[in-house]
Amino acid sequence: MVKFFFVSFASSVVQNQTMKSAFELAMERLNKTAPTVKLTSAKKKELAELDSQYAAKIAAREIALKAEVAKFTLAEDFEQAEAARQQLVHERKKLQSDLEDKKESVRDAK
């Protein structure tokens, strides 16, 4: 009786659908609660432009502040060098945060 039930159950699962992985089930639940948003080509272009602009801003700040770090290190002013490193980290995080805010506003715009 148990063997018959298992075979019957297994064959009905195979006939109806294949078993889904945990990842597939999780993605289905996620799509029900927060469906993915399709972006237009104009929005994709605008997001790419924002990425490019902010990459340039971050690179410019890194170059300037790394030059300061090198200058302070050569002068053996290690406290100022560390302060410049911390400023670099802070400015990079701020610029990345600004970028994400702008990207979110582009995504939300209708």
Residue type, 98: D
pLDDT tens across 10-31, in order? 555 555 578 889 999 898 888 8
pTM: 0.64
pLDDT at residue 76 tops 60: yes
Map out the domains of the chain as residue ranges: 1-36, 38-110
Rounded to 5 degrees, what angle do the CA atoms 44, 48, 53 make? 150
How confident is the model at residue 71, as a pLDDT?
92
Q: Per-residue confidence at 3, pLDDT binned at 50, 70, 90?
A: low
DSSP 30-50: HHHHSPPPPPPHHHHHHHHHH
| Residue 46, Cβ density class (10 Å: 0-12 exposed, 13-18 middle, ≥19 buried) | middle
